[in-house]
Structure 1
């Protein structure tokens, strides 16, 4: 090998190590962090949708399992997510000439407390909210309700993940 090869190898090695560990999800997890726990998110909203609390808790757990290499534990996790569902609301967003709803909006909000044993400065308590709009003539039942909740949960859980681990 020539000197040029050694210099090229050295430069590649330096640039790769300078970037640190790369994650396709954007997560910045301390190498000492091995576990996480998601405590049950109780539904404290005025309008109670049965099963919403367990479904949200499972959605957040699943996202963390799929986007990190951390292990799920029931207690004493390095990362802890807890909180409550604070809002489940259906409201009209636009009206027709006949004063009926042309479009309705389902809004779900959660209050999240995030604890990090390895980095206490990254801890937070924050409200996350997202919505789903649907036709005013439609009823939010069956597959339409499932679609609405799934889309809202996908956005909420990703926003929580980004705030906690990607620090966006």
Structure 2
């Protein structure tokens, strides 16, 4: 009897499929990189307060909703209004718009680009394992053309969300992916 290669490959795949499904469903490891204890079922996110004087008024609420959405899309945890097994609270601590690349234009130095830097302070509490609790400041930034002023950047919601999405990803990785 000769072995038919396509049938052999298919047999291996069928043999491994139950193992892969069991690993994905056990709660300790998942394919999105999370490492959540199976006893953790819920999470709560308090509205991130805005203590950055230059930040637009919408940033606090938008950031809070975006982090909720991110966790709901990437985990099986249930969002609860307060006292979740995992608890997130913090503040938008800095929203700084400053020259990033100084260039000489004639006799005067001018900005070749402007940089928006956002910092968010997070307090994370894991009620099931207090060894995982932490407080940390997360930061991300993006450069803009020197022709864009702060008002234009604040109105460019896509760019601001790109910066906050980077911060949210870092928070997610630190809190549930243990990276």
TM-score (norm 2): 0.80
Specify the alignment match of 1:154 in structure 2.
165
SS in 1 for 2:55: coil
- 1:153 is displaced (CA, Å) by 1.2
CA displacement 1:48-80 (0-9 Å, x = unmatched): 311110011111111000000011100121110
- 1:160 is displaced (CA, Å) by 0.1
Specify the alignment match of 1:40 in structure 2.
47
Following TM superposition, where does structure 1 have runs of at least 4 consecutive aligned residues deviating by more than 3 angstroms?
15-22
Higher relative contact order (CA 8 A, sep 6+): 1
SS in 2 for 1:32: coil
CA displacement 1:84-133 (0-9 Å, x = unmatched): 01000101011221211110000000000000111110110000000010
1:52 to 49, 55, 59: 59
SS in 2 for 1:133: strand
Distance, in Å, in 1 between the alignment partners of 2:51 and 2:146 is 26
Specify the alignment match of 2:140 in structure 1.
130
SS in 2 for 1:94: strand
Q: Is the 8 A contact 2:50 2:92 kept in 1?
A: yes
Specify the alignment match of 2:175 in structure 1.
164
Specify the alignment match of 2:129 in structure 1.
119
CA RMSD of aligned residues (A): 2.3
Specify the alignment match of 1:4 in structure 2.
none
Q: Does 1:76 align with 2:87?
A: no
Distance, in Å, in 1 between the alignment partners of 2:70 and 2:46 is 14
CA displacement 1:13-44 (0-9 Å, x = unmatched): 9x767896432221111111111000010000
What residue ranges of structure 1 are gaps of 5+ in the alignment?
1-7
Q: Is the 8 A contact 1:42 1:83 kept in 2?
A: yes
- 1:154 is displaced (CA, Å) by 1.0
Distance, in Å, in 2 between the alignment partners of 1:48 and 1:149 is 11
Q: Is the 8 A contact 1:86 1:111 kept in 2?
A: yes
TM-score (norm 1): 0.85
SS in 2 for 1:54: helix
Specify the alignment match of 1:100 in structure 2.
110
